[in-house]
Structure 1
Amino acid sequence: MGVVTDIRDRSRAARLVPAVLRARAGRSGKRTVSLFWRIFSLNAAGLVVATALLLGPVTVSTPVLPHEALILLAGLTALLAGNAVVLRLGLTPLHRLGRAMSTADLLVPGARPEVAGPAEAAELIATYNTMLDRLQAERAAGAGRALQAQERERHRIARELHDEVGQTLTAVLLQLKRVSDRVPGELREEVSLAQEATRAGLDEIRRIARRLRPGVLEELGLASALRALTAEFTHHGLTVAHHVPGDLPPLTPEAELVIYRVAQESLTNTARHAAADRADLTLRPLPGGIELLVRDNGTGL
Structure 2
Amino acid sequence: MTLFWRIFLLNAAVLLAATALLLLGPVTVSTPVLLTEALILFCGLVAMLVANAALLRLGLAPLERLTRAMTTTDLLRPGPRPAVSGHREIAALISTYNTMLDRLEAERAASSARALSAQEAERRRIAQELHDEVGQTLTAVLLETTRVADRAPGPLREDLLRAREATRDSLDEIRRIARRLRPGVLEELGLTSALKALTSEFSMGGGPVVRHRLDPGLPPLGPEAELVLYRVAQEGLTNVMRHAAAERADVVLGSVPGGVELLIRDDGRGLVDAAEGAGLRGMRERALLIGAEVAVGPGPEGRGTEVRLYVPLVGGAGGEAADGAGGGTVDGGERA
Coarse TM-score class (shorter-chain normalised): 0.5 to 0.7
TM-score normalised by L of structure 1 = 0.68
Q: Structure 1 79/212 Cα, relative in aligned 2: closer, same or farther at 3 Å?
A: same
| 2:67 aligned with 1:101 | no
Q: Structure 1 197/114 Cα, relative in aligned 2: closer, same or farther at 3 Å?
A: same
Q: Deviations over 1:11-31 (max 9, x none)?
A: xxxxxxxxxxxxxxxxxxxxx
Q: Distance in 2 between matches of 1:89 and 1:297?
A: 50
| 2:202 aligned with 1:233 | yes
Q: Structure 1 230/63 Cα, relative in aligned 2: closer, same or farther at 3 Å?
A: closer
Give, in angstroms, the shift of residue 207 of structure 1.
Answer: 0.9
Q: Distance in 2 between matches of 1:270 and 1:102?
A: 32
Mean Cα displacement is larger for which, 121-130 or 216-225? 216-225
Q: Distance in 2 between matches of 1:137 and 1:213?
A: 28
Q: Deviations over 1:113-164 (max 9, x none)?
A: 1112222222111111111111112222222222111111111111111111
Q: Distance in 2 between matches of 1:237 and 1:117?
A: 58
Q: Structure 1 298/103 Cα, relative in aligned 2: closer, same or farther at 3 Å?
A: closer
Aligned match of 2:264 = 294
Contact 2:215 2:253 (8 Å CA) reproduced: yes
Aligned match of 1:269 = 239
| 2:130 aligned with 1:158 | no
Contact 2:207 2:241 (8 Å CA) reproduced: no
SS at match of 1:290: strand
Q: Structure 1 260/187 Cα, relative in aligned 2: closer, same or farther at 3 Å?
A: same
Contact 2:246 2:269 (8 Å CA) reproduced: yes
| 2:140 aligned with 1:171 | yes
Q: Distance in 1 between matches of 2:236 and 2:51?
A: 61
Q: Distance in 2 between matches of 1:125 and 1:255?
A: 34
| 2:252 aligned with 1:282 | yes
Matched letter for residue 186 of structure 1: P
Q: Distance in 1 between matches of 2:61 and 2:80?
A: 18
Q: Deviations over 1:21-54 (max 9, x none)?
A: xxxxxxxxxxxxxxxxxxxxxxxxxxxxxxxxxx
Structure 1: any 5+ residue segments left out of the alignment?
A: 1-61
Q: Deviations over 1:157-212 (max 9, x none)?
A: 11111111101101111211221232123322222221111111111111110111
- Aligned residue pair count: 235
Residue from 225, 229, 234 that aligns with 1:255? 225
SS at match of 1:108: coil
Q: Report which of the two has the higher share of helix.
A: 1
Aligned match of 1:27 = none
Give, in angstroms, the shift of residue 64 of structure 1.
Answer: 6.9
SS at match of 2:76: coil
Q: Deviations over 1:69-109 (max 9, x none)?
A: x9xx8xx9799988766655433322322222222222221
Give, in angstroms, the shift of residue 266 of structure 1.
Answer: 2.2
SS at match of 2:260: strand
Aligned match of 1:127 = 96
Q: Distance in 1 between matches of 2:267 and 2:113?
A: 33
Which structure has the larger Rg? 1
1:208-227 equivalences in 2 (<5 Å): 208-227=177-196
